[in-house]
């Protein structure tokens, strides 16, 4: 009989522990999705900021250039917040990814202004990556399948992002 009492007591404690852990994870996720401002990745001093419309004139093909840039976010990965497209002006965009997949930004950051530190360069993006980005952005299957050629793009690998 004593064994049954201990068994029920242990089962009850285990159930309480699982419920508390699940609640703690839920609270953490809610805080993350509500935090649409702040620093993501490494913090950095905002100095010598390059405007978005100047980036293409500062980076040549075949070179990597470290800089701090400011740009409006056009769209963000809607699955994890693992990339952004920022506005360069003249209907041009630049994809921003995050060094070593080490951090993400809030998925609702589209339309905000970001100051980012990192490295700008040109890169040929393979078809499978372009299709993956299109899928993450919520494009239709028809739009995804229409991607058949790799693209040379100006890209930015950020080590830190500040959203305002």
Reported as a pLDDT band with limits 50, 70 and 90, residue 151 is very high
The pLDDT tens digits of the residues spanning 100-124 come to: 999 999 999 999 999 999 999 999 9
Which residues lie closer than 8 Å to 159 by C-beta, 6 or more apart? Answer: 41, 42, 44, 98, 99, 117, 118
What count of Cα atoms within 13 Å lies in the side-chain half-sphere of residue 34?
6
Stretch 128-155: mean pLDDT: 93
Instruction: Centre a 10 Å sphere on the Cβ of residue 31 and count the other Cβ atoms it contains.
Output: 9
Q: Which CATH architecture has domain 38-163?
A: Beta Barrel (2.40)
pLDDT at 10 over 80: no
Distance CA 128, CA 111 (A): 27
**Residue ranges per structural domain of the chain:** 1-34, 38-163
CA of residue 16 relative to chain centroid, distance: 35
pTM of the model: 0.74
User: How far is residue 31 from each of residues 25, 37, 80, measured CA to CA in Å?
Assistant: 10, 12, 15
Measure the CA–CA gap between 10 and 66, rounded to whole angstroms. Answer: 57
């Amino acid at each position: 009989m004593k064994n049954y009492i201990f068994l029920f007591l242990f089962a009850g404690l285990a159930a309480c522990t699982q419920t508390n852990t699940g609640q703690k994870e839920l609270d953490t996720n809610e805080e993350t999705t509500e935090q649409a401002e702040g620093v993501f990745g490494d913090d950095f001093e905002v100095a010598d900021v390059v405007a978005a419309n100047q980036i293409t004139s500062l980076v040549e093909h075949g070179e990597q250039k470290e800089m701090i840039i400011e740009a409006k976010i056009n769209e963000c990965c809607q699955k994890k917040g693992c990339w952004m497209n920022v506005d360069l002006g003249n209907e041009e965009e630049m994809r921003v990814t995050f060094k070593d997949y080490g951090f993400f930004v809030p998925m609702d950051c589209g339309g905000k202004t970001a100051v980012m530190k990192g490295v700008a360069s040109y890169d040929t993006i393979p078809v499978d990556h372009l299709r993956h980005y299109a899928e993450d952005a919520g494009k239709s299957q028809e739009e995804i399948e229409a991607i058949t050629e790799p693209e040379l793009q100006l890209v930015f690998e950020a080590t830190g992002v500040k959203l305002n």
